[in-house]
Amino acid sequence: MRANDYLQKSSALFDENRLLKFAFVVMAIALCFNSLMVHRAVKYQRTILIPPHMTGEIEFVQGNPSEKYIRDMSRTIAGLAGTYSPSTVRENFEELLYYYSPKSYPEASARWYSLASRAEEGLVSSVFFLETIKFDDKRIELFGQQIQYTGNTPLENTSRTYLVDYLIEQGRFFVTAIREKVQPGETTLKEEQ
């Protein structure tokens, strides 16, 4: 009778062992499936942002912004850099500097604050009428009409093209440089005035 009990117990242990092996295999398959689905979700995730001054939804798919986002940022930058009066120039340029990358900020801040001081001292006002925007993964080309005044006297009324170098880092738009395009294909290091 004791041998019979022993055989029943060993048979039950073997059955339990088989059940545990089956449960382990099922859990391993579920873990692999879950990992695959998480990877797929992260790869195809969409983050929808509505930053200040934007006109609608902005989408990032696989870390790349939508065309609408780049166009809205271009309009914001053109407005801040190209349209000012002696009383608003410092405030505009301070807001523009928020868009600069940390590496570019020190040089840009010196240039923009210098330009702000000259505009305040010379009572210079400027209006930039943006006409066209062209861009690729690293550069935005802004073409428009710029009119500058000192007091009520017109100083300059010219067509200008500005090149804005930018980068997208962790979903954030950073300006690295703004330069005036002198001739087709040629740029100067002179900061926007």
Q: CA-to-CA distance for 138 and 3, rounded, in angstroms? A: 81
Q: What is the pLDDT of residue 165?
A: 94
Task: Tell me the sheet residues that pair with 144.
Answer: 130, 160
Q: What is the pLDDT of residue 91?
A: 94
Residue 81 has φ and ψ, to the nearest 5°, of -85, -30
Q: What is the pLDDT of residue 6?
A: 57
Residue 79 has φ and ψ, to the nearest 5°, of -65, -45
Query: Which option is the CATH number for 64-191: 3.30.565.10, 3.30.300.30, 3.60.20.40, 3.10.450.230?
Result: 3.10.450.230
Domain boundaries, the chain: 64-191
Q: What is the pLDDT of residue 193?
A: 39
pLDDT by residue for the chain (193 residues), tens digit each?
A: 465 665 677 777 788 888 899 999 999 999 999 999 998 888 877 665 555 556 666 676 766 777 888 888 899 999 999 999 999 999 999 999 999 999 999 999 999 999 999 999 989 999 999 999 998 888 999 999 999 998 888 888 999 999 999 998 877 889 999 998 875 554 444 444 3
Q: What is the pLDDT of residue 192?
A: 41
Cβ(74)–Cβ(133) below 8 Å: yes
Q: What is the pLDDT of residue 77?
A: 92
Name the amino acid, one letter, at 134.
K
